[in-house]
């Protein structure tokens, strides 16, 4: 992977900065249990990794047609997720030093399938917000990943051409979105095994965060 043309690094959040995928699932399950669906919710979570929460709710509503509106369901679930994030603070151990190092050399952006309320909660941990420029949420775009829209919007707000951006992702849908945007994509196998990430088009798979430094020609 050639990194001499990279000007900006765009991070995904869930599964890259914060170990939140288990919390996402647990918060959905709590709401479904409260609504009386229990194990009959009919959702296979891996099908939705890297996509927005609204996509999950659309699938749930299509199957069950609950009395609550999608907006009401989103509020119920996000309140639980925010509480879990506050209680556990599940940042990946090596990610904060990585962000600090990259911020000295590159413009940083964040493109997440989460909503702004959840993103704000995560970026408040260890003052991470200070290292990032534009923050783009699923609320800001019309199409979720694997559409490239969220990455293209982030690049535009960074004022950097897509081909000069490097995306750090952990899901198949996120990788497809980054590649469709014309960006270099580094994958971290936190959510998926390396093989599906490679098949999705990742330019490089890094087993740990220190390898991202090497890939981007940074010295510690």
* Euclidean distance between CA atoms 10 and 126, whole angstroms: 19
Exposed / middle / buried, residue 28 (Cβ in 10 Å: 0-12, 13-18, 19+) = buried
14 is catalytic: yes
Rg (C-alpha) for the chain, rounded Å, is 17
91-113 per-residue burial string, b: 16 or more CB within 10 A, e: under 16: bbeebbebbebbbeebbbbbbbb
Out of 4, 14, 203, 213, which one is annotated catalytic?
14
3-class secondary-structure state, position 63: helix
* Euclidean distance between CA atoms 111 and 26, whole angstroms: 23
Out of 12, 53, 170, 203, which one is annotated catalytic?
12
Residue 145 near residue 169 (C-beta atoms within 8 A): no
Residues belonging to the active site: 12, 14
């Amino acid at each position: 992977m050639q990194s001499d043309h990279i000007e900006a690094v765009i991070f995904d959040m869930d599964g890259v900065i914060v170990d939140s995928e288990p919390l996402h699932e647990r918060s959905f399950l709590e709401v479904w249990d409260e609504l009386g669906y229990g194990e009959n919710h009919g959702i296979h979570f891996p099908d939705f990794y890297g996509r927005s929460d609204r996509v999950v709710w659309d699938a749930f509503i299509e199957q069950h047609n609950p009395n609550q509106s999608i907006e009401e369901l989103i509020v119920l679930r996000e309140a639980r997720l925010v509480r879990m994030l506050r209680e556990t603070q599940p940042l990946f151990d090596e990610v904060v030093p990585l962000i600090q190092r990259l911020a000295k050399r590159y413009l940083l952006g964040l493109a997440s399938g989460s909503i702004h309320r959840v993103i704000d909660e995560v970026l408040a941990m260890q003052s991470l917000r200070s290292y990032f420029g534009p923050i783009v949420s699923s609320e800001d775009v019309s199409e979720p990943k694997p559409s490239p829209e969220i990455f293209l919007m982030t690049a535009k707000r960074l004022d950097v051409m897509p081909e000069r951006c490097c995306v750090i992702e952990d899901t198949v849908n996120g990788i497809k979105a980054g590649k469709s945007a014309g960006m270099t994509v580094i994958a971290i196998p936190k959510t998926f095994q390396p093989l599906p990430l490679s098949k999705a088009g990742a330019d490089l798979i890094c087993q740990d965060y220190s390898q991202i430094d090497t890939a981007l020609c940074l010295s510690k």
